[in-house]
A = this chain, B = another copy of it.
Amino acid sequence: MNPTDPSIIHGVSRLQAWSDEQRRAGKRIALVPTMGALHEGHLSLVRLARARANRVIVSIFVNPTQFAPGEDFERYPRDLESDLAKLRPLQVDAVFAPSVGDLYPAGPPTWVEVDGLTESLCGRGRPGHFRGVTTVVARLLNAAKPDIVIFGEKDYQQLATIKRMVRDLCFDLEILSGATVREPDGLALSSRNAYLAGEGRRQARALSAALVEARNAFESGERGVSRLLQVARQRIEKEPLIQLEYLELADAESLGPLLSGAGIQRSAVLAVAATIEGTRLIDNTVLEVV
């Protein structure tokens, strides 16, 4: 084995033993949870982990409980060998690749659920999704026992929800987030971009472009919620393959929707979800009020 190859760890108790050993040796451990199909967005989180900790664990697990029936759980891209090849140059110490049975023993699972933050935005279109996310992340945190856990800002609502869970359940760790990494034309990196091709892929750039246009308006002084949404919507509506699921301005902290007649007075997140030729994409930008 190449000396920079990470240990591949499958079972929970083996990971816990590994983590205990690192901690006894005084090492600071960072966990980067992923569903695999790694792209430069994930790798940027691994680099952040590398910079902030002595030991880096990447978990690779396509979590069934965060997919609803009819979503893409079965066809979600899985390629452990290719993922390991991408991680090799980054000096990851351990890759945790559990089976479904490792994290979900027989019987109805114990659920972890964050109310409030999970009802708006993606929570409306994907009921149960965030419950699945918090349910698996709680398991991963107890399995890896990290000092630091790192998530991407592309999944803004997921990040907010996990921050809330970590605070509420008293997990003794620090959450860091990494900025969204984008293609040259602005499209946010996503494992699901692999489903896109041709004209669908070309039109997908409108999502990030719409956010940039609204952000430009905001930075030029526009504070009207309706007006900012209109700027973004106009850009998206130019692309006939985009089926908009939502385009919303929400309070950056509570994720509650801003009233359309109102103005932005506190930091807000402009978030979008859309389907292009069957592929669901999300993106967001934070409009900061200081």
Contacts and interface: CB of A to CB of B under 8 A. Distances in A.
B143 A110 contact: no
A132 to B, nearest CB: 13
Given A16-B172, A145-B172, A168-B105, A110 B139 contact: no
Interface stretch (A47-55, A111-119, A217-225, A242-250): A111-119
Nearest to A104: B168
Nearest to A24: B24
B167 A105 contact: yes
Interface in A2-18: 12-13, 16
A134 B114 contact: no
A115 B105 contact: no
Copies of this protein in the assembly total 2
Q: Is the interface of A mostly helix, strand, loop or mixed?
A: mixed
Nearest to A119: B108
Contact of A110 (B104, B112, B140, B142): B112
A165 interface: yes
A65 to B, nearest CB: 11
A169 B145 CA distance: 12
A138 interface: yes
A170 B139 contact: yes
20 contacts: A13-B172, A16-B172, A105-B167, A107-B116, A107-B164, A108-B116, A109-B115, A110-B115, A110-B169, A111-B112, A111-B113, A111-B115, A112-B112, A112-B138, A112-B169, A139-B169, A142-B169, A142-B170, A142-B171, A145-B172
